[in-house]
Amino acid sequence: MPPLDPEEFLRQDLLGFPPYTMAPVTTDDFARIIKLDANENAFGPSPRTVAALADFRHWHRYATQDELLPALARYVGVDASQLVVGNGGDELIDWIECAFLAPGDTIVNCPPTFEMYSHYAHIIGARVMDVPRRADFSIDVDAVERVISPLPNPPPSKTGEGRVGVKLLFLTNPNNPTGTPMPRADIERLLALPVMILLDEAYAEFGGETMVARVPTQPNLIILRTFSKWAGLAGLRVGYCVAHPRIADQLRRIKSPYNVNAAAIVAARASLDDVDYLRANIERIIAERERLTIALASLGFLQPVPSKTNFILCRVVGRDSLVLRDALASRGILIRAYKSGMLREYIRITVGTPEEDERLIQDLKELT
Ligand code: PMP
């Protein structure tokens, strides 16, 4: 018998699937590079979080997310029945799509935006309907309204089909990678559409306006949040969503039993006990963002887009954005650039510490 070809057993439609790409850095590199490519928190976790992790002794036990819920409910200002915690916000995007989408269902996506919305939809075999943003990166609300029209809603069947037409609309406020906020009036208009809305507020703590207070009265609204940015826990993977209790219950039914690991639970609890410290860091990042925006603009070849996040998108004028990224990388400074699409002429820079940002500006001056 010829040897079995394992590839024949794989889903053929996913062969050659484009992976999410990230810089090839190791944890050993973190101390020697200036990492401004992934929108991490420049100041890291709170000292109380670091101490809680060092003191914890029970790594051999499974831990469950339930113990996080009371403190998280207080922080967010909702009832614990509306919260589900995930192994990072990414995992929640994955499950939320699993909970709502069957192969052939449709999502509406507004690029340029966070790549994982379409990534998981493609894996499920759902259709991704792109409604591109306008030149100023605002959402074309009229165009979104046109593609999401009221449709008859047949009773859900046991085979997985429910509503036909567009099921999920992804909104990001403020948006990644543009850093731009969404006007509240636009969100309100879109909430009136007959569709489930995943409103991603991963960067809300840096100056965005949250819609959390609307969740109890708006059953089609699910809000996604994360500890990666404001609390400096990106490496520990803690995200959560705020949803109608029936949606939250359904998400808990389909999740992996111990999806949030013990270190993440210990760290998130300690962070929620040290919110004042973390808020002070958020204020420092916001002040540094404003200072860096001015410094980048004064270089002459970068046009920063005003940001409400912990990163700044800049148009690169008169030079190649990928060459600029590589030149900085060879000096130990990582930033993000884009190979194609609306962002081909842009770079994205995470706000660093004042010292890191000073090095960045100096190196950019030397590269002019
Ligand atoms: N949403 C947006 C808009 C993001 O930028 C990110 C992280 N880059 C996430 C969600 C997911 O964050 P995490 O998985 O680290 O919680």
Percent of the residues in the chain that have a pLDDT greater than 90, as a whole number: 90
Give the pLDDT of residue 152: 55
Give the pLDDT of residue 208: 75
Give the pLDDT of residue 151: 60
Give the pLDDT of residue 24: 87
Cis peptide before 2 (omega within 30 of 0): no
Give the pLDDT of residue 154: 53
What is the distance between the alpha carbons of residues 17 and 112, in angstroms, rounded to a whole number?
19
The values of phi and psi at residue 114, to 5°, are: -65, 130
Mean pLDDT per 10-residue run, the chain (368 residues)?
A: 90 92 89 96 98 98 96 97 98 97 96 97 96 97 90 53 78 98 97 97 94 95 98 98 97 96 98 98 98 98 98 97 97 95 95 98 94
pTM value?
0.95
Give the pair of three-digit tokens for residue 55.
């003191």
**Residue of the nearest CA to atom 1 in ligand 1?**
202
Give the pLDDT of residue 122: 96
Q: Kindly write down the DSSP assignment for every residue of 91-119, as one continuous string.
A: HHHHHHHHHH--TT-EEEE-SSS-THHHH
**Residue of the nearest CA to atom 12 in ligand 1?**
89
Give the pLDDT of residue 349: 98
Give the pLDDT of residue 341: 86
First to last CA, the chain: 63
Decide whether any atom of ligand 1 lies within 6 Å of the 36 Cβ. Answer: no
Give the pair of three-digit tokens for residue 287.
């002040």
Distance set, CA 40 to CA 37, 106, 202 (Å): 8, 31, 11
Do residues 141 and 190 lie in contact, with contact meaning Cβ atoms separated by under 8 Å?
Answer: yes
Give the pLDDT of residue 95: 95
What is the distance between the alpha carbons of residues 239 and 84, in angstroms, rounded to a whole number?
9
> What does the pLDDT look like over 202-213, one tens digit per residue?
999 998 789 999
Give the pLDDT of residue 156: 53
Q: Token match 């029945």: residue? A: 81
Decide whether any atom of ligand 1 lies within 6 Å of the 271 Cβ. Answer: no
Separation of CA 4 and ligand 1 centre (Å):
39
**H runs (alpha helix) in 125-180:** 141-147
